[in-house]
Amino acid sequence: MVPNKDELLGKDIEELESYMISIGEAAFRARQIFKWIYSKEVNSFYDMSDLPRELRKKLDTMAQISIPRVLKQRVSQDGTRKYLLELRDKKRIESVLIPQGSGKNSRYTICVSTQVGCPIGCSFCATGQAGFQRNLDYFEIVGQVLGSRRELKRKLKSNEENLISNVVYMGMGEPLLNYNEMIKSIYMLNHPKGLGIGQRHITVSTAGEASGIKRLADEGMQITLAVSLHACDDTLRNHLVPLNRKYPLSALRDAIEYYISVTNRRVTFEYVLLDEVNMSKRDARNMIRLLKPLLANVNLIPYNEVDGLDYTKPSPPRIQQFFAWLAEGGLNVTLREEKGSDIMAACGQLKAGYSKMYRN
Ligand code: SAH
Ligand code: SF4
C-alpha cells in the first residue's frame, strides 16, 4: 500500500461524504463505500461492484482502506482462534476470537489489542515483557475487528454479519493509556451503521490507570469496566503491576468509587492467580476488606504460564481454597474458564512477532 494515499477506514459517513465531494464525486457514494467496509470488510475498490468502473479506478489511485491482514493464525482445541495481524507500517498485533456456545449459531467474543506492546510491564505478562512500540489508531482497532471477522467468515464459510457479538479490550496494551483512540473505536464499533455492537457487550480492562478511569466515568457509557487488581497490598502490587507506584491502591479505589457513583455500574476485578505469590489467607482477607464495600464482581484467572517467566499456575485445590475464602467473605466471585492456552492465546500470552508459534 502506498502510504500517502488517503485513508478511508475510520471515516464516518459524514466524513466520507465530504471526502467524495472534495474529489468531485457524488456524496451518496459514501454510503455505498461505507457498507462495503463495514458489512463486507472489503478493502479493494475493485470489489465494490455497485460503483462505476471509472470511480473504482480513480479511488484506487488516491485512497486506501487499511483493514489489517491476517498473516497467520492458530486454532485451539476449544475453538479459540488467534490471529496475527499486520498493520500498515508492518508492525504486528494479535487478536483472539473466543467462541460463545457451540454449533452453527455460535457467536464470538473478540479480544482486541490497543497498543503494539505495552509500556506498563507487569512482571507476569508476556506482552509486558516485549516492551512498548506504539499506540494503535482508532481505525486500526476497528480494522482489527473487521480483518478478524473477514477471516473468520472465510474460514467458517459464513456470511453472518453478527458473527462477533462481544468485544473485550484485553489484548496487547493498556487501553486507558491510549484513551482517545480507544473511545473513538468504541463509538465506531457501537455505531448502528458501523459494527452495531451494543455497549453492554463491550468490556475495557485496565491495569489501574486511575485518571483514565475517572475520564471514562464521565463518558456516560454503558460498557463494563474491568480492573486488573492482582494484589491488595501496595508492596506486592508495586512489584506485579508497576503502575501501582503511580496510582497506589488508595488512589485506584478513589477513582473506582467515582466511576461507580457516576455510572451506577458494577465493576469487575480481575485477579490472576500466581502460585505462592498472591493467594494466601491474608491476601483473601485484604481483598474482602477492599472490595466488599464496592459491590464488585471478582474474576479469578488461573495464571497462564509464559516462557521465561518464573511464575507458576496454582493447583486446582489451591484455586478452590482461595475461591472459597473469598466467597465465604461475601464476595461475588467467578473463575475464568481457560480458553486457548494450548495455542498461547490465553490472557497475557500475546506477544506477536513470535511467529514460530504459528503453523499456517
Ligand atoms: N492492559 C490491560 C488489558 C490487557 S491484559 C490490563 O492489564 O488489564 C488482560 C488481562 O490479562 C489482565 O487482567 C492481565 O493482568 C491478565 N494477564 C496478563 N498476563 C497474564 C497471564 N500470563 N495469565 C493470566 N492472565 C494474565
Ligand atoms: Fe500491559 Fe496489561 Fe500486560 Fe500489564 S497485564 S503488561 S498492563 S497488557
- At 19, which CATH number? 1.10.150.530
From 272, 303, 351, the mutation candidate for ligand 1 (largest count of ligand atoms within 8 A of CB) is 272
140 and 30 in one domain?
no
Residues 6+ apart with CB under 8 A from 272: 124, 228, 230, 278, 301, 302, 303, 347, 348
146 and 76 in one domain?
yes
Condensed to tens digits (0 to 9), the pLDDT of residues 135-149 reads 999 999 999 999 999
Ligand 2, pocket residues at CB < 6 Å: 118, 120-122, 125, 127-128, 173-174, 207, 228, 348
151 and 25 in one domain?
no
Ligand 1 binding pocket includes 306 (Cβ within 6 Å): yes
Res 358 pLDDT > 60: no
From 347, 349, 350, the mutation candidate for ligand 1 (largest count of ligand atoms within 8 A of CB) is 347
Whole-structure pTM value: 0.93
The count of domains in the chain is: 2
Condensed to tens digits (0 to 9), the pLDDT of residues 236-245 reads 999 999 999 9
Q: In the structure grid, which three cell numbers stand for residue 122, read together? A: 507487569
Overall average pLDDT of the 12-24 stretch: 95
Helix axes 29-40, 13-22, angle to 10 degrees: 130
From 177, 224, 270, the mutation candidate for ligand 1 (largest count of ligand atoms within 8 A of CB) is 270
Closest atom, ligand 1, to C-alpha of 311: 22
Q: Which of 64, 90, 109 is the last residue of a domain?
A: 64
pLDDT band at 160 (very low <50, low <70, confident <90, very high): confident
CA distances from 134 to 3, 100, 124, 238 (A): 18, 31, 21, 24
**Domain enclosing residue 44, as ranges:** 6-64
304 and 353 in one domain?
yes
Condensed to tens digits (0 to 9), the pLDDT of residues 36-73 reads 999 899 999 999 999 999 999 999 999 999 999 999 89
14 and 81 in one domain?
no
Closest atom, ligand 2, to C-alpha of 205: 2
Ligand 1 binding pocket includes 272 (Cβ within 6 Å): yes
Res 1 pLDDT > 50: no
22 and 124 in one domain?
no
pLDDT of residue 340: 73
Ligand 1 binding pocket includes 112 (Cβ within 6 Å): no
**Rounded Cα distance, 256 and 126, in Å:** 27
Within a domain: 308: yes
78 and 92 in one domain?
yes
Q: Where do we find the cell 466467597?
A: 327
Q: How far is the CA of 348 from the centre of ligand 1 (A)?
A: 5
332 and 240 in one domain?
yes
Q: How far is the CA of 171 from the centre of ligand 2 (A)?
A: 9
Condensed to tens digits (0 to 9), the pLDDT of residues 302-352 reads 998 888 899 999 999 999 999 999 999 999 999 987 777 676 666 656 666
Which ligand neighbours the alpha carbon of 206 most closely?
1
Which ligand neighbours the alpha carbon of 171 most closely?
1
Res 171 pLDDT > 80: yes
Residues 271-289: b if buried by 16+ CB within 10 A, e if exposed: bbbbeebbbeeebbebbbe
pLDDT of residue 108: 94
Q: Where do we find the cell 475464602?
A: 325
pLDDT of residue 295: 81
Res 225 pLDDT > 90: yes
Instruction: Give CA angle at 191 (185, 193), nearest 5°.
Output: 120
Task: Yes or no: say if 340 and 76 are a contact pair by the CB < 8 Å rule.
Answer: yes
Query: Mean pLDDT over all residues of the chain?
Result: 91
Condensed to tens digits (0 to 9), the pLDDT of residues 178-206 reads 999 999 999 989 988 888 999 999 999 99
CATH number of the domain at 101, please. Answer: 3.20.20.70
Overall average pLDDT of the 163-171 stretch: 94
Within a domain: 1: no
74 and 16 in one domain?
no
Within a domain: 232: yes
344 and 216 in one domain?
yes
91 and 43 in one domain?
no
pLDDT of residue 141: 96
Which ligand neighbours the alpha carbon of 178 most closely?
1
pLDDT of residue 353: 56
189 and 108 in one domain?
yes
Ligand 1 binding pocket includes 151 (Cβ within 6 Å): no
